């Protein structure tokens, strides 16, 4: 047993951080994020931070901030205390024994573990994941205010600032006709200056998708994310085989490596949206990415709208991946009114710059953590 990496303590807290504007998706509108932040202490004195964020409580998938907190405090943390924290895979197995599923909760703990061990070794987390293959990642922004004028103003500003030139539109809440009109108007307003994608977040059935996706492609959309329900792999496969002029991306359909194997076997999508939380951590994200690569499926660096902690963790693993690459959308910090780090990752020339410091390469602002801590709400000056 390597005593110096012994896990001594793990704590989790739920934060409530408002968003800069309402963020509208097919299943609802959010005006705050409630990330669960994990802090993990090793015997050698090093600490690490991890995060799992959901969107709209348990409405994106089964886990909620409260269930994540519960799983960590009652099952995952007790399974790891006293263990050798440098044995990452063994720690994941222990968490699997203690708790079925709960991928988001496990990922928050695993990120904190890698951060703590990497800090002890004075290495960046990407070094523990195989080494980086890129220093920056092209960064998308999501237009989801629900208002065309506001969406266009946001897009123009971000183009001028050289921050984003890939824009994802959230559709599926209104009629498909209204969505096509909305996307077409945004496309006209941007006059070919940006790459346009849509995320339907499972809202359509196969017939609706077959009828309306070609109209979105005509309007200029080049990447279509999760047009049908997560379970509806037959429809996803058919769209992948028959649509021309755009790529089909699986998001809610691809969480575990077993999901990835099924989609790969059936060639049911052109691209996987990789998300550290839904895959259950950084190491398991690499496993899903390996399946994508072996099946000639591209990858895209997805987000659950995390703060800088979760976004940096995702950037670290995405930067290690090879294969066909379809950008990332780690813009969560920019959607929040404030952050919990002293300095955010830089965005330059439309790309997110990967931190190089030890661990996740971020300094956590403990005052900000306390300021947004749900359990302390009202007890501190805002
Ligand atoms: C999703 O389903 O991709 C990511 C970006 C965004 O705006 O919402 C999310 C969730
Ligand atoms: Mg999605």
Query: Does the structure's ipTM exceed the value 0.95?
Result: yes
Question: Annotated active-site positions, please?
Answer: 170, 329
Both structure tokens of 133 = 């293959």
Q: What is the pLDDT of residue 1?
A: 58
For ligand 1, the distance from its centroid to the CA atom of residue 6, given in whole angstroms, is: 36
Residue 260 beta carbon below 6 angstroms from any ligand 1 atom: no
Residue 202 beta carbon below 6 angstroms from any ligand 1 atom: no
Residue 303 beta carbon below 6 angstroms from any ligand 1 atom: yes
Residue 142 beta carbon below 6 angstroms from any ligand 1 atom: yes
State the CB neighbour count (10 A cutoff) for residue 3.
9
**Atom number of ligand 1 nearest to Cα 60:** 2
For ligand 2, the distance from its centroid to the CA atom of residue 223, given in whole angstroms, is: 11
Taking each helix axis from N to C end, the angle separating 282-294 and 308-320, rounded to the nearest 10 degrees, works out to 40
Q: Which residues of the chain are modeled with pLDDT < 70? A: 1-2, 380-382
**Atom number of ligand 1 nearest to Cα 25:** 8
Of 165, 166, 183, 185, which Cα lies nearest the Cα of 174? 183
Query: Coil, strand, or helix at residue 260?
Result: helix
Which phi and psi angles does 193 have, rounded to 5°? -85, -5
- pLDDT tens string 326-340: 799 999 999 999 999
Query: Coil, strand, or helix at residue 314?
Result: helix
The answer to whether the beta carbons of residues 237 and 208 sit under 8 Å apart is: no
Alpha helices in the chain (DSSP H): 65-71, 77-80, 88-98, 103-120, 125-128, 148-160, 176-190, 206-219, 233-242, 257-266, 276-279, 282-294, 308-320, 332-335, 366-372
Cα separation of 358 and 205, whole Å? 46
Q: What is the pLDDT of residue 381?
A: 57
In the block, residue with structure tokens 């971000």: 158
For ligand 1, the distance from its centroid to the CA atom of residue 328, given in whole angstroms, is: 11
Mutation choice for ligand 1 from 27, 35, 329, 331, CB with most ligand atoms inside 8 A: 329
For ligand 2, the distance from its centroid to the CA atom of residue 26, given in whole angstroms, is: 10
Q: What is the pLDDT of residue 323?
A: 82
């Amino acid at each position: 047993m390597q005593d110096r990496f012994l896990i001594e303590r793990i704590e989790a807290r739920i934060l409530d951080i408002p968003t800069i504007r309402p963020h509208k998706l097919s299943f609802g509108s959010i005006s705050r994020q409630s990330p669960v932040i994990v802090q993990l202490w090793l015997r050698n004195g090093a600490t690490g931070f991890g995060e799992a964020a959901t969107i709209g409580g348990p409405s994106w998938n089964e886990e909620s901030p409260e269930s994540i907190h519960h799983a960590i405090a009652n099952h995952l943390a007790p399974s790891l205390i006293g263990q050798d924290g440098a044995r990452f895979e063994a720690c994941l197995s222990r968490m699997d024994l203690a708790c079925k599923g709960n991928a988001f909760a496990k990922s928050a703990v695993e990120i904190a573990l890698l951060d703590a061990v990497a800090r002890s070794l004075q290495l960046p987390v990407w070094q523990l994941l195989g080494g980086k293959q890129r220093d920056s990642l092209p960064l998308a922004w999501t237009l989801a205010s629900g208002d065309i004028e506001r969406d266009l103003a946001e897009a123009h500003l971000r183009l001028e600032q050289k921050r984003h030139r890939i824009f994802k539109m959230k559709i599926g809440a209104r009629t498909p006709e209204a969505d096509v009109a909305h996307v077409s108007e945004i496309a006209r307003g941007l006059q070919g200056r940006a790459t346009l994608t849509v995320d339907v977040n499972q809202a359509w059935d196969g017939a609706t998708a077959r009828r309306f996706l070609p109209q979105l492609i005509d309007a200029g959309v080049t990447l279509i994310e999760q047009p049908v329900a997560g379970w509806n792999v037959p429809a996803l496969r058919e769209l992948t085989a028959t649509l021309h002029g755009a790529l089909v991306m699986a998001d809610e359909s691809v969480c575990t490596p077993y999901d990835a194997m099924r989609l790969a076997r059936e060639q049911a999508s052109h691209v996987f949206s990789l998300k550290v939380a839904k895959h259950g951590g950084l190491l398991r994200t690499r496993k899903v990415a390996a399946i994508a690569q072996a099946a000639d499926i591209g990858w895209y660096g997805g987000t659950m709208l995390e703060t800088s902690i979760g976004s940096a963790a995702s950037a670290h693993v995405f930067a290690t991946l090879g294969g066909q690459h379809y950008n990332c959308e780690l813009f969560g910090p920019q959607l929040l009114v404030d952050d919990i780090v002293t300095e955010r990752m830089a965005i330059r020339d439309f790309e997110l710059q990967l931190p190089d410091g030890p661990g996740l390469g971020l300094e956590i602002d403990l005052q900000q953590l306390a300021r947004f801590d749900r359990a302390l709400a009202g007890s501190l000056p805002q």
